Structure 1
Amino acid sequence: MEHTSNADLRTQADAVLARLVGDGTGTARLREDQWRAIEALVAEGRRALVVQRTGWGKSAVYFVATSLLRAGGSGPTVIVSPLLALMRNQVEAAARAGIHARTINSANTEEWEAVRAEITAGEVDVLLVSPERLNNPDFRDQVLPELAAATGLLVVDEAHCISDWGHDFRPDYRRLRTMLGDLPPGVPVLATTATANARVTADVAEQLGTGGTSDALVLRGPLDRESLRLGVLRLPDAAHRMAWLADHLDDLPGSGIIYTLTVAAAEEVTAFLRQRGHTVAAYTGRTENAERQQAEDDLLANKVKALVATSALGMGFDKPDLGFVVHLGSPSSPIAYYQQVGRAGRGVEHAEVLLLPGKEDEAIWEYFASLAFPPEELVRRTLDVLSHAERPLSLPALEPLVELRRSRLETMLKVLDVDGAVHRVKGGWVATGRPWTYDTERYAWVARQRKAEQQAMREYATTAECRMEFLQRQLDDEGAKPCGRCDNCAGARFTADTSTGSVDAARADLGRAGVEVEPRRMWPTGLPAIGIDLKGRIPPREQAGAGRAVGRLSDIGWGNRLRPMLAPGAADGPVPDDVARAVVDVLAGWAKGPGGWAAGADGAPPRPVGVVTIASRTRPRLIRSLGEHIAQVGRLPLLGGVEYGGDAPPMSRSNSAQRLKALDGALTVPPALASALAGTPGPVLLVDDYTETGWTLAVAARLLMGAGAEGVLPLVLAVQG
């Protein structure tokens, strides 16, 4: 039987909930499982891990608990939260319950001192902190210790990020172990997530100190979402999928989210749907922060039918009446898919969830899988460089010395930091000298897990069984059973019908060739450290001009055509007729477009006077025939090719400095080509198959201009990215 004190506490908790949800009648009541979590935190000072479906009300638990703890004299609640979108939502929600919330994140550095002063004065009830702050040297060494000492409740939101068995591992989250160790005895801790299978749950519980302790509470509920009606539509190609959206977007309830797998696809789909009269906005990692916030606000206010988004719009975005989630392309993980579709239907009776898989999906999965934790030799090389450095090395200083791009290098360092092998200090990173073991077995297991998740998504798209039950089983939900609502249980609610007009428009849009190739204008930092005496801005007389490509490899239009042709191991051969026609279209558009050489405008580049190719070890016939075709159609002389003096340096997904190191001295301008350039009064077209980093084009252009070319205009089939 409930003690009187707990009964009073329950009454107070329900009153806070009523304020939180804006219930003026005061009739709102916590569900029993929500109350159990709050009771454990407030009355018992326990640590709890809550694994509950999206929309269950996890934020109500920590806001109600905060209000009760603060009323009892406890310090502020610290919420570690992964996304700014969530922080904005949470601050507004807290205010409704009379809870004063502030944030410390990368977007509000000018407010940090004011926030610290408010915390010291006891005026802050909730502090939301981005996980990246936890290992910022100033924050870690100056703010975090005093914060840990004063904290009344620690909340770890989206706690699956702690586990590298999970779909969205974030090494910054592992810093929480330090903060947990610094908490005074008896301070309650709440970890929450909607997307954790049994293994991730156990791993998170162990890392948070809840695993195996007698006073730990793990609350794991059923993951069925009764408002969601899942379905899959298999359409012939990208044009039909875009046409379907154009024809049926207004049939979907309310406003929602259209997820794509790449930035390029999000931008393509947004532009096409706008052309077809729909009010949509793009939301990607490339979107400026102010534009992101405006897009979120417009969706919350139903001023747009949909945001066309990458996974940049993920955890934490809270719109209770979101009416639909459509995926144009399949995520690689059923757990990630469950999380994203969980954005819909929180506060409405029915929401539509549709997956429109594409043939490009698996190539995109493979690309992202290639960015996993680096092989041991690269990790050892990084540790060796740091151990021999005389001072801390910043990322820009370290990057030229190791063969990793900056984002991947930074993630690796964060993992090594958690493992104790390196430490982040003011000015950069240092090696600790502690022994470190490359966990080959663990990394291989994670890679196998990713493969299994990809196979599960293939099966989800083709299963004849209940789709919700399938997802629940992927999350180890013991209560999984047929939902009775999905297309397999209740029949499809949408047909694959598309109008001829929309298909033709989509095909024309996707078939429109031409992407600008921005030239490299600055040498990467740190080249002198690897023996290359180049730095700062590339002189204009050594720079390539703006170039053109037929398409991006990540496009759902030309990308689907070019990707197999340019894949490693693909057969070499003459340029296919359809691709050759597209190149001619690109040249025509380039000549006549704004700033083109046929425009006659001031500052427009002169018309090219010749064609130069770049040698290739893997696709010599393709590039030779491409150069010949351009020369023939453009009635230009084929002047020759830039050659490799020795072995061609391998293309790699390394960083810019390492790519330049590989190219240094490798390319040469043969005497015959140099002689031909001397007699050509104008720029040349520089032809290659594709560009990833842009440095091969930059180095070749510099050599050609040094040999007498008056300008270099790159023309490639594809751009990576």
Structure 2
Amino acid sequence: MTDATTDTRAAALTALRALVGRDDAEFHDGQFEAISALVDEHRRALVVQRTGWGKSAVYFVATLLLRRAGAGPTVLVSPLLALMRDQVAAAERAGVRAVSINSTNPHEWADVLARLDADEVDVLLVSPERLNNPSFREQQLPALVRRIGLLVVDEAHCISDWGHDFRPDYRRLRELIAQLPAGVPVLATTATANSRVVTDVAEQLGGADVLTIRGPLARASLRLGVLQLPNSPSRLAWLISHLDDLPGSGIIYTLTVAAAIDTARVLRERGHEVRAYTGQTDSDERTESEGMLKRNEVKALVATSALGMGFDKPDLGFVLHLGAPSSPVAYYQQVGRAGRATDSADVLLLPGVEDRDIWHYFATASMPDEDRAGRVLAALSDQPTSTAALEAMVDLRRTPLELLLKVLDVDGAVRRVQGGWVSTGEPWVYDAERYRRIAAERLAEQQHMLDYETTEMCRMEFLQRSLDDETAAPCGRCDNCAGTWYPTGIADDATRAAASALDRVGVPIEPRKMWPTGADRLGVPVKGRIAPGQQAAEGRALARLTDLGWGGALREVFAAGTPDAPVPPRLLDACVRVLADWGWAERPVAVVAMPSTSHPQLVDSLACGLAEIGRLPYVGALALRDGGPTGQPGGNSAYRLAGVWNRFDADALDVPSGPVLLVDDVADSRWTLTVAARELRIAGATDVLPFALALRG
């Protein structure tokens, strides 16, 4: 060790002890090696270490030492705002002046930039999306690049489309790294990367000269287990019975928003202090929930993957999954939240039979499509087009459209500018072979997760080998190593409570109030607010397709390949219960059916059954004009409306003057019901009450 390295080690150890607040703190294996590579050698390094190892200590300590040597501020690219909050607080404890620029604090940007100009900022935290904000990219980033002292890419597995959590915005980091002045060190960190992802990330950092520091991923504090139960009610009943048996406070992960909300509701009704946490939860509420969990004011947060990277509660006592993530790598990343500063934490997986269907949905939703890309490129020119305007020009919803634009941007085919998006004119070729290989890798990961559920080998060893950890060895603690450690019995009252909770019926169908922007460009002569006299009323569906309770029965009815058939008596009885609980202002005077091309028997039998049981006249089904609806599921609002506009005819029906119950199979975009309700109201109905078996989403 050289004298310079010795000096660096002494200064780094002092900074580390200030950061963690302990005078006896020492470096973990690999920590100082990474710090020295950045500070003494100005190298590019990739650190792959388990959650809780101290990756943030590496870049905060390196920042302090580099700043003392006269270097400019560190730029830390981080994916989640929760991570930013925790890390800013940690930095302040060590005397690091850290600020963030993100979508939630635009009112602070001017002050942040002024502090940067005055050299009063040590660490600037930015989201990867910020790198493609035109104002930031063109006005602030160039000056920042000239002064940057260290670039840190946190959660670097997001760079790789081979990773379980690929984010297109992260691909822009290759461009940023290429712009850095010579000698600026770069650090990438992650806890979840197999060999393929490590190689991909290292190549984007600079290839052969990248120092990779990879440690063992075993977590001695974690006690892993898998409990196979037959269905959603039994999993929920187990949780009702045994949530209080789990140590401390923790996280209950679900695969869908609906499952998180339903589970939290049921547990609260049984006296458990829990809160739902999803990507749809208000940001202030999410912050409040994170604080309550950290202070042990709730037993658990029932969360989707929105609560993941960056959430820091070192004494988290348990992580439980209702349904399995789609890969062992993703699973390891989530369970790694637990037991970081405790001797023991419990990790239990309760897989579901519906897991594979949910995996398939999310996998296909995230992959670029050649035809869609072609439509987007054909619609763009060298003049800016806003995302909203583009949405009206191509048949894509906002979320997949934005994802596709990011992919095309990273590939150089489009560019985000002030006012929207432009085409660069650069040729773009759909890399079908690359996406085929990625899709095949996703399927292999899914099978690997299924293998984890049934393996007889040590579960921690299995996860380590999934991440290509060569130090993998039996843990001696999991259910395969030491025997079943979790209770398997379910209390009778819990079974009854779960069954009753999941037997609840009725989900509101919110009526459309505004016509979609751009519909007039597609030949639909409407814009603005839908006339009150032509609107539908709030409707009802039996359940969402993703619901824990009736969602399973509905998924069977609407599964691909299931033949059309009359509505099952059990579903009809449940629909009658929905109508009985509806609480409408005025009882309907007649029933009308939607003209279904995919489930005519199902819809007709449902409408007739409800009319007979409710002793209402069945007026019949709306007639189809011009071959019927042309829209397909998944398109955006303007195209969905254009696909059903003027396709339904109520003239042949004897529509009464009064409220009409309008029956359909699945409510998705709600434009079909909106247009049909308009026709019925023009034909004389004073109100239209939409009813569907299922609500998609």
> Considering the TM-score relative to the shorter chain, is it more than 0.5?
yes
Q: Distance in 1 between matches of 2:384 and 2:622?
A: 40
Q: Which residue of 1 aligns with 2:217?
A: 223
1:487 aligns with 2:479: yes
Letter in 1 for 2:76: I
Letter in 1 for 2:409: D
1:105 aligns with 2:102: yes
Q: Which residue of 1 aligns with 2:38?
A: 41
Q: Which residue of 2 aligns with 1:338?
A: 332
Measured after TM superposition, the shift of residue 373 of structure 1 is 2.4
Q: Distance in 1 between matches of 2:642 and 2:466?
A: 45
CA deviations over 1:113-151 (Å, ceiling 9, x no partner):
100001111111111101110000000101111111111
- How many residues align structurally? 696
TM-score for both structures, normalised by structure 1: 0.95
Q: Distance in 2 between matches of 1:685 and 1:228?
A: 54
Give the secondary structure class of the aligned counterpart of 1:311. coil
Contact 1:235 1:496 in 2 (8 A): no
Contact 2:227 2:351 in 1 (8 A): yes
Letter in 1 for 2:204: Q
Q: Which residue of 2 aligns with 1:464?
A: 456
Q: Distance in 2 between matches of 1:657 and 1:507?
A: 41
Q: Which residue of 1 aligns with 2:616?
A: 636
Letter in 2 for 1:664: W
CA deviations over 1:294-325 (Å, ceiling 9, x no partner):
00000111111100000000111111001110
Give the secondary structure class of the aligned counterpart of 2:657. coil
Letter in 1 for 2:695: V
Contact 2:628 2:648 in 1 (8 A): no
1:620 aligns with 2:597: no
Q: Which residue of 1 aligns with 2:208?
A: 212
Question: Aligned to 2:430, which of 418, 438, 443?
Answer: 438
Letter in 2 for 1:243: A
CA deviations over 1:422-444 (Å, ceiling 9, x no partner):
01000000001111110000011
1:652 aligns with 2:628: no
Contact 1:617 1:648 in 2 (8 A): no
Contact 1:144 1:179 in 2 (8 A): no
State how 1:146-165 maps to structure 2 within 5 Å. Answer: 146-165=143-162
State how 1:44-83 maps to structure 2 within 5 Å. Answer: 44-83=41-80
Q: Which residue of 2 aligns with 1:124?
A: 121
CA deviations over 1:202-230 (Å, ceiling 9, x no partner):
11111122x123xx211111111111111
Contact 2:250 2:317 in 1 (8 A): yes
Q: Which residue of 1 aligns with 2:385?
A: 393
Measured after TM superposition, the shift of residue 647 of structure 1 is 4.3
Q: Distance in 2 between matches of 1:168 and 1:183?
A: 26
Over the aligned positions, Cα root-mean-square deviation in angstroms equals: 1.1
Q: Which residue of 1 aligns with 2:13?
A: 14
Letter in 2 for 1:315: M
1:314 aligns with 2:347: no
Q: Which residue of 1 aligns with 2:200?
A: 203
Question: Aligned to 1:174, which of 157, 171, 174?
Answer: 171
1:699 aligns with 2:659: no
Letter in 1 for 2:648: L
Contact 2:28 2:53 in 1 (8 A): no
Question: Aligned to 1:665, which of 640, 646, 654?
Answer: 646
Contact 2:631 2:644 in 1 (8 A): no
Q: Distance in 1 between matches of 2:393 and 2:108?
A: 36
Q: Distance in 2 between matches of 1:544 and 1:132?
A: 38
State how 1:343-354 maps to structure 2 within 5 Å. Answer: 343-354=337-348
Give the secondary structure class of the aligned counterpart of 2:311. coil
CA deviations over 1:623-662 (Å, ceiling 9, x no partner):
1110011101111000111132204435321211121122
Q: Which residue of 1 aligns with 2:296?
A: 302
Question: Aligned to 1:718, which of 691, 694, 697?
Answer: 694
Q: Which residue of 2 aligns with 1:601?
A: none
Q: Distance in 2 between matches of 1:703 and 1:459?
A: 53
Measured after TM superposition, the shift of residue 531 of structure 1 is 2.1
1:683 aligns with 2:659: yes
Q: Distance in 2 between matches of 1:455 and 1:654?
A: 31
Q: Distance in 2 between matches of 1:237 and 1:380?
A: 42
1:499 aligns with 2:494: no
Give the secondary structure class of the aligned counterpart of 1:681. coil
Q: Distance in 2 between matches of 1:200 and 1:255?
A: 33
Letter in 1 for 2:672: T
Letter in 2 for 1:113: A
Contact 2:628 2:644 in 1 (8 A): no
Give the secondary structure class of the aligned counterpart of 1:411. helix
Q: Distance in 2 between matches of 1:664 and 1:608?
A: 25
Letter in 1 for 2:41: E
Larger displacement relative to structure 2 (681-690 or 372-381): 372-381
CA deviations over 1:519-552 (Å, ceiling 9, x no partner):
1111111112222222111111111000001100
Q: Which residue of 2 aligns with 1:402?
A: 394
State how 1:468-479 maps to structure 2 within 5 Å. Answer: 468-479=460-471
Letter in 2 for 1:625: S
Larger displacement relative to structure 2 (610-619 or 26-35): 26-35
Question: Aligned to 1:246, which of 240, 244, 249?
Answer: 240
Question: Aligned to 1:194, which of 181, 191, 195?
Answer: 191
Q: Which residue of 1 aligns with 2:4?
A: 5
Q: Distance in 2 between matches of 1:432 and 1:639?
A: 56
CA deviations over 1:91-131 (Å, ceiling 9, x no partner):
10001101111000001110001000011111111111011
Question: Aligned to 1:382, which of 376, 382, 385?
Answer: 376
Q: Which residue of 2 aligns with 1:541?
A: 533
Q: Distance in 2 between matches of 1:482 and 1:644?
A: 65
TM-score for both structures, normalised by structure 2: 0.98
Contact 2:251 2:303 in 1 (8 A): yes
Give the secondary structure class of the aligned counterpart of 1:672. coil
Larger displacement relative to structure 2 (654-663 or 290-299): 654-663
Q: Distance in 1 between matches of 2:278 and 2:129?
A: 20
Larger displacement relative to structure 2 (438-447 or 466-475): 466-475
Q: Distance in 2 between matches of 1:634 and 1:488?
A: 56
1:183 aligns with 2:177: no
Q: Distance in 2 between matches of 1:156 and 1:115?
A: 20
Question: Aligned to 1:450, which of 442, 450, 456?
Answer: 442
Q: Which residue of 1 aligns with 2:512?
A: 520
Give the secondary structure class of the aligned counterpart of 1:370. helix
Contact 2:83 2:309 in 1 (8 A): yes
CA deviations over 1:541-567 (Å, ceiling 9, x no partner):
111000001100011111111111012
Give the secondary structure class of the aligned counterpart of 1:653. coil
Give the secondary structure class of the aligned counterpart of 1:450. helix
Letter in 2 for 1:663: V
Where does structure 2 lack aligned partners over 5 or more consecutive residues? none
Q: Which residue of 2 aligns with 1:411?
A: 403
